[in-house]
Amino acid sequence: MDTTNDLEPILETVRRLCADFPGEYWRERDRERTYPTAFVQALTDAGLLGVLIPEEYGGSGLGLSAACAILEEIHASGCNAAAVHAQMYTMGTVLRHGSPEQKSTWLPKIASGEIRLQAFGVTEPTAGTDTTSISTTAIRQGDKYVVNGQKVWISRAEHSDLMVLLARTTPKDQASKKTDGISVFLLDMREAVGKGLTIKPIRTMFNHATTELFFDNLEIPASCLIGEEGKGFRYILDGMNAERILIASECIGDGRYFVGKASEYAKSRVVFGRPIGQNQGIQFPIARAYAEVRAAKLMTYEAAGRYERGLPAGEEANMAKMLASEASWHAADMCIQTHGGFGFAEEYDIERKFRETRLYQVAPISTNLILAYLAEHVLDLPRSY
């Protein structure tokens, strides 16, 4: 069943927009490690980044499935949504747990593009995906909090106005449970940089504007706190599920891109007097990649549907992310193999997409951690150490 039929007008808008940003645009961004500002602005002007924001705040008021379809189509078109996807998955924390004042202050500006919410400050050098072990602290002092600590692998911090920040407001050894004592803040980075917040770029194999953050007695207003102090871990869990589902949709788009590229090349590339696609050694890997991508897509939209209905979606979100990231990686490898040496040539764009999709075996959560989650929490197997 095609889950995106009702969204076809939106998807056609995405395709037309992406056509204005061909491979050379992305190659130049990749070479120079520059942020795709024009692309982000075009998405904003088209109203695509406000898809999850309620209409009362200037957004489209659509669900997670619509956001998935948009991100999938961006990637299937050869573009990359990494510069904008954080706004969609961090939005849930503000929408579900933000105060009326926070929502009315920020959501209309985010929907219009006046303000960017593209940074999610969770990961730390010594905690990684063990979120309950974060050591960044936010200590209440009157009508402010003082933040100290370090974050790493925080993408787009230099290109975002706001950041959803996770910090400990109670030391772990003083909390009744390890998930307690963690709070979430909506940080205005325009007010923080140079006043206790330092941003240091990290150069990586793909252009995600990745950074390391240092907090040194950064003072932020107490009004930055989202929800109740000490309950932040619970607040971001839903956001993490949304993140995994949205990342899965990007992987589906990548998979479609690779299968399409490989199929076209296999039909047009003639060796020994016939198209290489006539050989089963070429046909079968393409067909298998296509089947894997289609299957992963079904799980992704099942997860999105459960999330939209308010049902528990942790199992489905994790499986969607794992299956989709593996499907896209298999498709990427197949596409390189189909193209042979040309697959490594920059002008074909495959090597760029190859690098980009490899990330999702590791982030935002590694495949092994997903398998551990399924084993322990779904299959009730003994906890591994």
Backbone φ and ψ for 225, nearest 5 degrees, come out as -65, 130
Band (pLDDT 50/70/90 cuts) for residue 5 is low
Distance CA 343, CA 353 (A): 11
Distance CA 131, CA 134 (A): 6
Residues 251 and 187 in one domain: no
**Residues 326/292, Cβ–Cβ less than 8 Å:** yes
Quick: pLDDT tens for 60-85: 999 999 999 999 999 999 999 999 89
The domain of 220 spans: 117-230
230, 261, 295: which is the final residue of a domain? 230
Quick: pLDDT tens for 88-100: 888 888 998 999 9
Pairing status of strand 162-168 against strand 117-121 = parallel
Token pair recorded at residue 74: 């961006």
Residue 267, classed as helix, strand or coil, is: helix
* Mean pLDDT of the 107-126 span: 93
230, 246, 278: which is the final residue of a domain? 230
The answer, as to whether pTM is greater than 0.85, is yes
Residues 241 and 368 in one domain: yes
Torsion of CA 293, 240, 35, 116, to 10 degrees: 130
pLDDT at 168 over 90: yes
* Mean pLDDT of the 294-310 span: 97
Token pair recorded at residue 40: 């982000």
Nearest CA to 369 out of 182, 207, 128, 105 is that of 128
Residues 245 and 353 in one domain: yes
Return the number of other C-beta atoms located less than 10 Å from residue 271's C-beta: 11
Secondary structure (DSSP) of 13-82: HHHHHHHTS-HHHHHHHHHHT---HHHHHHHHHTTGGGTTS-GGGTS----HHHHHHHHHHHHHTT---T
pLDDT at 385 over 90: no
- The reported pLDDT for the residue numbered 1 is 40
| Chain mean pLDDT for the chain | 95
Residues 222 and 202 in one domain: yes
Q: Is residue 193 a part of any domain in this protein?
A: yes
- The reported pLDDT for the residue numbered 4 is 58
- The reported pLDDT for the residue numbered 230 is 96
